[in-house]
Amino acid sequence: MTESRRGFLKLAGLSAVAVAGSAAVSAKATRSEGHEPPATTGKRLALVVDLRKFAKDDALFAAVVEACHKAHSVPDFGDDAKNEVKWIWTEPFETAFHSEEFHYIREDLKGKPTLLLCNHCDNPPCTRVCPTQATWKRAEDGVVMMDWHRCIGCRYCVVACPYGSRSFNWKDPRKAANLAGLDPKAFPTRMRGVVEKCTFCDERLARGEEPACVAACPNGEMAFGDLNDPASEVRRLLTEHLAIRRRPGLGTQPEVYYIVEDPRSLMEVAPAAEVFEVEEGGHA
């Protein structure tokens, strides 16, 4: 009897060492998560918003927002800001890019509406804080997904997102006037107590279509595609133009890019000689 007890204790000791060892290995594997450059394998879906093209048509913002919100049965509570639910929306240019601290910006850029949505970050803070994994980053294409079945409404992700891309349903969305009499085949609504946000139209991507916002743009004001594909439209746009992202200093690696100015047009406006003259004058 004593021998079997001794054997049991030996075995127990060995298993404890094995468990601790495997735990250490898995801790090592997860610790580096999020501190690596974006994956270069598989797809990396990204969106490019051409603000120069948007500047030509002020009515397009509303059309794009409407297209998205209609496609996803997003409730509209009018001017009730506390209960606002938004997947895509506009902010004045300086507010959208406040970290850039634009001080003396051109008059035509000042207060100009800028289209904002979930940035589908490469290093999303929202997915890390979710206690139920109701939001996660899809490995195959980088979309930051939502599982509304799983969301328990703790709102950690709303706090974690530095872009304000997440909305909480304080009120039953079905009570919104715009969602009365929805078609039974329409996109499901959410329920009260659930967080929602843009999912890059994962339901449309599954059918091989572009996101609804991109489809609503008549002249390529938005482009959508795979950043890991060197021949893609988004890669071409980012190579040829100067594009900025919202708060890149946070290290979230947002994947929504904004073309603000064409560097070639800048050169046409201000040749090198003129710039030199202005600088000389400034120092005098």
Partner 1 sequence: MRASHMELLDQWRDTVVRDNQRTYVSKLSGKEFEMSLQKTCGDCHSNKAEFCDACHDYTAVQPYCWTCHLEPQEAP
Applying CB under 8 A, the residues found at the interface with partner 1 are 138, 140, 145, 147-149, 174, 182-186, 188-192, 202, 206
**Is the Cα torsion angle 32, 38, 40, 44 positive or negative in sign?**
positive
Which DSSP state fits 117? E
- Is residue 256 helix, strand or coil? strand
Query: Torsions phi, psi of 2, nearest 5?
Result: -60, -40
**Least Å distance between CB 203 and partner 1?**
9
Closest CA to 25 of 36, 17, 35, 13: 17
- For residue 83, the minimal CB distance to partner 1 (Å) is 17
Task: For the chain, give the longest Cα–Cα distance.
Answer: 98
Report the residue number, 68 or 151, with the smaller CB distance to partner 1.
Answer: 151
d(CA 132, CA 147): 10
Question: Cβ 248 to partner 1, closest distance in Å?
Answer: 28
Q: Which is nearer to partner 1, 23 or 186 (CB)?
A: 186
**What DSSP assignment string belongs to 60-74?**
HHHHHHHHHHHHTT-
d(CA 83, CA 164): 14
Q: Rounded CA gap, 145 and 121, in Å?
A: 11
Place of tokens 């059918």: 207
Q: What is the closest distance, in whole angstroms, from the C-beta atom of residue 150 to partner 1 in the complex? A: 9
Q: How far is the CB of 106 from partner 1 (least distance, A)?
A: 43
Smaller CB distance to partner 1: residue 53 or 138? 138
Smaller CB separation from partner 1, 115 or 151: 151
Nearer to partner 1, 28 or 149 (CB): 149
Neighbours of 84 (CB within 10 A): 16
CB-wise, 1 or 177, nearer to partner 1?
Answer: 177
Q: For residues 61 and 148, which CB has a smaller minimum distance to partner 1 in the complex?
A: 148
Minimum separation from the CB atom of position 184 to partner 1 (A): 5
How many Å apart are CA 264 and CA 177, to the nearest integer? 47
* Cβ at position 42, least distance to partner 1 in Å: 13
